[in-house]
Amino acid sequence: MMMKSGWIPDPPDPRDYTVDHRVVRPFVESLGIAEPSAALPDAVDLRAFFPPVIDQNPLNSCTAATAAAIMSYFQRKAHDRQIEPSVLFLYKVTRNLLGLRGDSGALLRTSMHALRLFGVLPEQRWPYDPALVDVEPDTFHYLFAANYKAKAYYRLDTSGVDGEALLARLRTNLAAQLPAMFGLFAFPSLAFAAATGAVPYPARGERPTLSHALVAVGYDDGKEVRNPIDGVTRRGALRVRNSWGPQWGEAGYGWLPYAYILNGLTSDWWSVVEADFVDEGQFGFQ
């Protein structure tokens, strides 16, 4: 079965919020991540704060799946209870902002805009039914979603940030328990990751076959990932959350060698630094 993706790379936009933006700077300074740190642990793993991995198939909704996962993470951190955000709702409102219909895929930047403007519904209020991909939510659902918004977010891979600087930022953020979503240019050797989640760095001659969004949820400086095609092993990898169901990799998670970041095979890195939630439990909602 051909797995779905759906990431459309962001075109350059000088309006993107950066670490130095006046809205973002106070938050990153309070977290101690305004500048990359050299004193970091060898490994970080944030999986325990995320909900179970969804299966996005048969839709190209990976950008919504990654953004929803990050919002669920922050809700767990804020209230010690978890919602499963509606991927279908977020996919729809993101495409509304883009003026798109159908199963078109979407931009990660616009997914962030949608989280800031509209928020996201709990899954039980807008379930993941691919047949409803173009159904427009009603006023009630938009008002309900407004209780779950991203308040501050920023882009990590801004102009002038090379691969080494980006990796340093990512490791610093992850060590401060701040995950990030991003786009990946994937190659045929991705197929080897289905069982273990270990995504090989492409061998010479491989060409990109899809563009896909993932969430970085940790890292391990000692993790080794081998490409069976050329036998080359890369050391150091990000732990990533996929959206191809729990049957993929390690219960839906995998490993992406640092070489992908260092050599420009990822893009559109976004982090939320503050989110706003209403605890439904106080009203008796579950």
Query: Model confidence over 211-242: pLDDT tens digits?
Result: 999 999 999 999 999 999 999 999 999 999 99
Tell whether the model's pLDDT for residue 284 goes beyond 80: no
Neighbour count for residue 199 (Cβ, 10 Å): 27
Alpha carbons 88 and 72: distance in angstroms, whole number: 15
What share of the chain has pLDDT > 90, as a percent? 84
Note the pLDDT of residue 277.
Answer: 62
Alpha carbons 18 and 14: distance in angstroms, whole number: 10
User: Is there a contact between 10 and 113 (Cβ–Cβ < 8 Å)?
Assistant: no
Which pair of tokens denotes residue 178?
A: 């701040």
What share of the chain has pLDDT > 70, as a percent? 96
Contacts of 1 (CB under 8 A, 6+ apart): 57
Per this entry, what is the length of the chain?
286
Is it true that the peptide bond before 179 is cis, omega within 30 degrees of 0? no
Alpha carbons 215 and 63: distance in angstroms, whole number: 10
Tell whether the model's pLDDT for residue 176 goes beyond 60: yes
This prediction's pTM: 0.94
> What pLDDT band is residue 280 in, cutting at 50, 70 and 90?
low
User: Is there a contact between 151 and 20 (Cβ–Cβ < 8 Å)?
Assistant: no
Note the pLDDT of residue 273.
Answer: 84
Note the pLDDT of residue 285.
Answer: 44
Label the pairing between strands 148-155 and 266-277: antiparallel
Note the pLDDT of residue 279.
Answer: 58
Burial of 131 (0-12, 13-18, 19+ CB in 10 A): exposed
pLDDT in tens, 71-89: 999 888 877 777 899 999 9
> Domains in the chain, ordered, with CATH?
25-276 (3.90.70.10)
| Mean pLDDT within 255-282 | 86
Look over the chain and give the mean of its residue pLDDT values, rounded to a whole number.
Answer: 93
